[in-house]
Amino acid sequence: MSGDAREVRTRLRFDVDRLRDAAWRLERVDSSLSQLRRHLEARARHLSRDATDENKPELEGRGGVHLLYAQASATAQLARKASLGEILSTTSLSLIASMAVSRWLWALRAAGHEPRGPKVVKAQIEGGRIAYRTLAALRGKKGLVAGMGQLAASVIVAELVHADDRRHVELELVAALARADRAADELGEDVMAAASLAIREAAELLEKMAVKAEPAIQRLLEEADQVESRVASQLGFASD
């Protein structure tokens, strides 16, 4: 055996902390994009309503109405760009893997506010194993070792669940460690090194996603500030 559950958690805690920080960083990016998207969608609806408001004297004639509809359309189109999928490419396997990992971690943190019991703990670990398999698919046959997903997921869950649920995780972690030891023996791998690699790979992926997305938010904010005046200029209306 490669050590008891407590030792495994201690040895992998740095990697788990890095992954957690990367997940929360990407969550802030996702939250900022969601907030911007909601703002733009609301603005597009407002512009559309104004275009049909017969009580607005400035809309007399078709020009003003045409401008508002064009601005509403451009604003709604920009709102659709305000998502991780659009920024990072919806066809990217990296995006799929990063979302599998990050959304599992976000859900895990939310569930950790109160005790959930052994069934939920086991389901949370299974969710981590699925995220691990997605990450392994991204790497093909390089690096990540079969049989380590349960161990990596169990260690991460142990750090994020409610304190009252840790005893349930300990049981799962012991079983995961035994399974990882068997897999490592067959493949000639070091258990701790393999589990550490899995967690670090996930952290690096989320960090790369955040680094790529953060500048895009600023560009979208700048575009959002200018979208209505840009449309007005394109249609030959004087800017205010």
What is residue 50's predicted lDDT score, i.e. its pLDDT? 84
Q: Is 4 left (phi over 0), alpha (psi -120 to 50) or beta?
A: beta
Nearest of 202, 118, 109, 116 to residue 159 by alpha carbon: 109
Domain spans, the chain: 5-234
Question: Mean pLDDT, 10 residues at a time, over the chain (240 residues)?
Answer: 72 94 94 95 92 61 75 94 82 81 92 90 92 80 70 92 90 86 71 86 92 91 93 76
Say what the pLDDT of residue 89 is. Answer: 72
Q: What DSSP line would sit under 153-173, residue for residue? A: HHHHHHHHS-GGGHHHHHHHH
- What gap in Å lies between CA 192 and CA 4, rounded to an integer? 12
Query: Left (φ > 0), alpha (ψ -120 to 50) or beta: where does 236 sit?
Result: left
What pLDDT shows up at residue 13?
93
For the whole model, what pTM was predicted? Answer: 0.81
Q: Are 51 and 69 in contact (CB under 8 A)?
A: yes
Angle between helices 149-160 and 5-51 (to 10 degrees): 80
